[in-house]
Structure 1
Amino acid sequence: MAADTSLEVALVAADRTVWSGPASMVIARTVEGDVGVLPGHAPLLSLLTDAVVEINTADGVVVATVDGGFLSVANNRVSVLSERALLAEEIAVDEARAMLDEAQGLPTGDERELRIRRAEARIRAVEKARAGVR
């Protein structure tokens, strides 16, 4: 059976659909490592980490961040579900850098590490978008 040539992708936050549409590839970071999803990918359900998600479309690459969540893949449909997700163009890099500075000033612990990961992911998303992706 020939695989379809595209994926149907939905990037969904708790309060809204952040982005949806056809794509040729999705790259996301799970707790087990980075995953690249192409058409015909085997079914998958995985936990996401706080990181950048890249969605390759016919118009370019959509760059976003997620604060953890789930990645579901089945029948060329990809769902990226997170409590909070932001497109790179929605991120104010100055605010993300301030978040990072504030987090680095916290005492060592899980909350500090979580805030650092989230701030760094937002900064990376903006940098990737500025480097030429949509």
Structure 2
Amino acid sequence: MIKKVKKIFFMNLQISILTPERPFWNGEAEEIILPTETGEMGVLKNHAPIITGLDVGAMLIRTQGEWNSFAIMGGFAVVKKNQVTLLANEAESSKTIDPEEASNAFDKAKENLEKAEGIKKKVEANFAFKRAKARYQVVKVLNKN
């Protein structure tokens, strides 16, 4: 009796990052780490289907063994059948961010958050802080590699 052998295909994740302005990034990856509203979430191939809200934060994508970092400014992510689609409010690659400018903006945003008074000012300062922190984090990740 001859047994049939199933072929196993090692398909990577297909990732699409879309912003209101344009398709930001498309490609294959082995892994993606998303900044969700409930914390960081890693996605590997054959992940269970999920829809999640994205927070403002750093996102990592591993392609061919190397990590690429991006600042994501909120949105949604859909994971289904090895396809990850991000609908992001804004996205920025660590390669386009000036590290010194990001560090200065982070320090200033932190200072402004500490000084903010009143609910509206605190909410605005907190959003500016999260945005500056995301940009600063992706530059720090790039400089570590």
Using structure 1 for the length normalisation, give the TM-score.
0.89
* 2:112 matched residue in structure 1: 105
Query: Could you list the runs of 5+ residues in structure 1 that have no partner in the other structure?
Result: none
Q: Distance in 2 between matches of 1:60 and 1:20?
A: 16
Structure-2 separation of matches of 1:112 and 1:89 = 26
Whole-Å separation in 1 of the counterparts to 2:14 and 2:74? 21
Asked if structure 1 preserves the Cα contact closer than 8 Å seen for 2:36 and 2:55, the reply is yes
Contact between 2:106 and 2:136, CA under 8 Å: does it hold in 1?
no
User: What is the CA distance between 1:85 and its match in structure 2?
Assistant: 0.2
In the alignment, is residue 131 of structure 1 matched against residue 139 of structure 2? no
1:1-134 equivalences in 2 (<5 Å): 4-58=10-64, 60-103=66-109, 104-105=111-112, 107-108=116-117, 109-132=122-145
| Consecutive unaligned residues in structure 2, runs of 5 or more | 1-5
Query: Structure 2 CA distance, aligned partners of 1:114 and 1:45?
Result: 23
Q: Which one has the largest radius of gyration?
A: 2
Q: How far is the alpha carbon of 1:119 from its aligned partner?
A: 0.4
Query: In the TM superposition, what whole-angstrom CA distance separates every residue of 1:110-129 from its partner, at most 9, and x where no partner exists?
Result: 11111111101111101101
Question: TM (normalized to structure 2)?
Answer: 0.82
Q: CA deviation at 1:59?
A: 5.4
Is the Cα contact below 8 Å between 1:12 and 1:19 reproduced in 2?
yes
CA contact (8 A) 2:58 2:138 kept: yes
1:130 Cα deviation from its structure 2 partner: 1.5
Change in CA separation of 1:25 and 1:49 when aligned onto 2, cut-off 3 Å: same
- Structure-1 separation of matches of 2:42 and 2:106: 28
Question: For the Cα contact (< 8 Å) 1:11–1:79, is it kept in 2?
Answer: yes
**Distance (whole Å) between structure 1 residues aligned to residue 97 and residue 24 of structure 2:** 13
- C-alpha deviations, 1:53-85, integer Å up to 9, x for none? 111111511210111111110110001221110
Identity of aligned residues (%): 28
- Given the superposition, is the C-alpha separation of residues 73 and 127 from structure 1 closer, same or farther in structure 2, using an over 3 Å criterion? same
